[in-house]
Chain A
Amino acid sequence: MASQSSQGSKLSSQEQSALISDIVLYILSQDHTKYPIKRQDIVKNVLKTHGRHYKHIMNEAAHVLTEIFGMKLVEIEHSSNMKQYILVNNEQFLRDVSDLKWPEEVEAQQVLLMLLLSLIFMSGGVVKEEVMSSFLTRLGIMNGRKSHEYFGDVWKLLTVEFVRQMYVEYVRIPESNPPKYEFRWGHRAKGEVSRRELLNFVSLVYGCDPKNWVTQYQEVLQAESEKEKKREEDGK
């Protein structure tokens, strides 16, 4: 089934299309886990001997992902050699998706994420782990290290799974002894989550106008204008 690869440095347009479509499929299926996709895995599993065409083919694949699937391929700088990517919703479709059905455990995770990202956002971008822990305990979501009926192993989700999925960062406070940790928003949250939606949600809970939260509202506006700028740049 594999076409004969040409000896020269050029790929036939058929080979190119096949590789582009393989990469698109690979990225779409891998992104399902929400773990970042490593460049080296793409080369190893999809491009194989055609590694030298990486840049060109990735550009085309990114284009397909944006134009056809409305998803943006975002590069995450890990260490200098290890490039990683995540797929982020390009937010061109603002339609209500509340009737989409997800498996129960995914829904539970979305709720949990919403809560902790809100806490971090409203607290100025950083939250110490004790604060997070007591917040979730007060809500009845955490009870020591016991597994919750609906949410599961909450602390493990926060410190391992969500970190791996790049929704949060769980980093050690420098110079802390004994080591203490804090939570921040991760790259995926920054790309995927609407700060405006979060602020609206929190305002709803407190029964007030979002504009009352002056600092946070400023951040919402700033994030939106940055996204607008970025979108205009990409469109060129």
Chain B
Amino acid sequence: MAAVEADEEEATAGPCPKDMELAVSIINKVIKGLNMEIRCAQDEITPAKYYLLVNTVDSHISRTFSKFSAAELEFFKTVLSEIVTSEDGCISSTACLNLNSSLPGNMTKSDTEALLEKFCKYQWLYQKDGKVHLTILSIVELEPLILSAYEDYVNICRLCKRIVMQGYRCDRCLALLHLHCVHLYTKGVDRIHSCPVCSADQPEMLAAVKNIPFHSGDDNRIPSASSRENKTGKGSARK
């Protein structure tokens, strides 16, 4: 539904992360009855942290009265499908524009381009360097759908147990991990060269996360209202 950068709250003098966590959990208790929830998640690339207001139920209200028509939502589903089943968690913009041919109705290329921009405007997708990606908002809000409909394709980061589309891939066991999860993991100095999943030697791993602007002085836990989240967030690999 909506995304706000967690940074903006932390940067202004005043509430600290603990207050934020408390505020979010109070709000969530109240909006639970309205089938809404605030979740916290980290963008896979940037890697800014966000607060996301999501619908927890795919009700007829959110579908029928959305800003997008049924045909437009169908297009989105197709794009979603392509991205989730792709090798590197994104598809080229040109491939995306060609997807209109597989859909009923008369969508021209320029219609499709305009629609793509509309999805970007409302933060369902984003485009960068000729590629189309799912935003963190889409990944989080559509998590139940992605997990059930794309069970065989979806990757789960073994460090945080959440969906991962783009990240670091071990070249031995092929596990895909979030860059920010690897970053946390490599803080344990004796582990910087081994894959958290299979312990294979991964000399490139540290370099892969070195140049990314992670926040310093982080509270390592990502605040969450959901009890199934891994609360320690220390990224220890489960054997």
Residues of A within 8 A of B (CB): 17, 21-22, 24-26, 29-30, 32, 45-46, 64, 68, 99-100, 103
A26–B34 touching, CB < 8 Å: no
Interface residue tally of chain B, by bracket?
Answer: 10 to 19
Q: Which chain A residues border B211 with CB–CB below 8 Å?
A: none
Answer whether residue B18 sits at the interface, using C-beta atoms and an 8 A cutoff: no
B66's partner among A21, A22, A29, A46 (CB-CB below 8 A) is: A29
Q: Which chain B residues border A26 with CB–CB below 8 Å?
A: 61, 65
A46–B61 touching, CB < 8 Å: yes
Chain A to chain B: the 4 pairs with minimum beta-carbon distance, closest first: A21-B34, A25-B61, A103-B121, A29-B65
A25–B8 touching, CB < 8 Å: no
Shortest Cβ gap from A236 to chain B (Å): 23
Q: Cα distance A117–B61 when bound, in Å?
A: 34
B30–A68 touching, CB < 8 Å: yes
How many residue pairs link A and B with beta carbons under 8 A? The number is 30
Within 8 A of A (CB), among B100-159: 121
Known: A17-B33, A21-B35. 6 other contacts (CB 8 A): A21-B34, A25-B35, A29-B61, A29-B62, A45-B64, A100-B4
Answer whether residue B59 sits at the interface, using C-beta atoms and an 8 A cutoff: yes
Q: Which chain A residues border B237 with CB–CB below 8 Å?
A: none
Within 8 A of A (CB), among B20-56: 30-31, 33-35
Q: Which chain A residues border B33 with CB–CB below 8 Å?
A: 17, 21
Q: Which chain B residues border A22 with CB–CB below 8 Å?
A: 59, 61
Answer whether residue B67 sits at the interface, using C-beta atoms and an 8 A cutoff: yes
Q: Cα distance A21–B62 when bound, in Å?
A: 12
Q: List 17 A-B contacts (CB under 8 A).
A: A21-B35, A22-B61, A24-B34, A25-B35, A26-B61, A29-B62, A29-B65, A29-B66, A30-B65, A45-B65, A46-B61, A64-B34, A68-B31, A68-B34, A99-B8, A100-B4, A103-B121
Q: Cα distance A103–B65 when bound, in Å?
A: 20
Q: Which chain A residues border B67 with CB–CB below 8 Å?
A: 32
Shortest Cβ gap from A13 to chain B (Å): 12
A25–B34 touching, CB < 8 Å: yes
B62–A25 touching, CB < 8 Å: yes
Q: Which chain A residues border B30 with CB–CB below 8 Å?
A: 68
Q: Cα distance A17–B34 when bound, in Å?
A: 9
Q: Which chain B residues border A100 with CB–CB below 8 Å?
A: 4
Q: Cα distance A68–B31 when bound, in Å?
A: 8
Q: Which chain A residues border B59 with CB–CB below 8 Å?
A: 22, 25
Shortest Cβ gap from A126 to chain B (Å): 35
Q: Cα distance A62–B61 when bound, in Å?
A: 18
Q: Which chain A residues border B8 with CB–CB below 8 Å?
A: 99
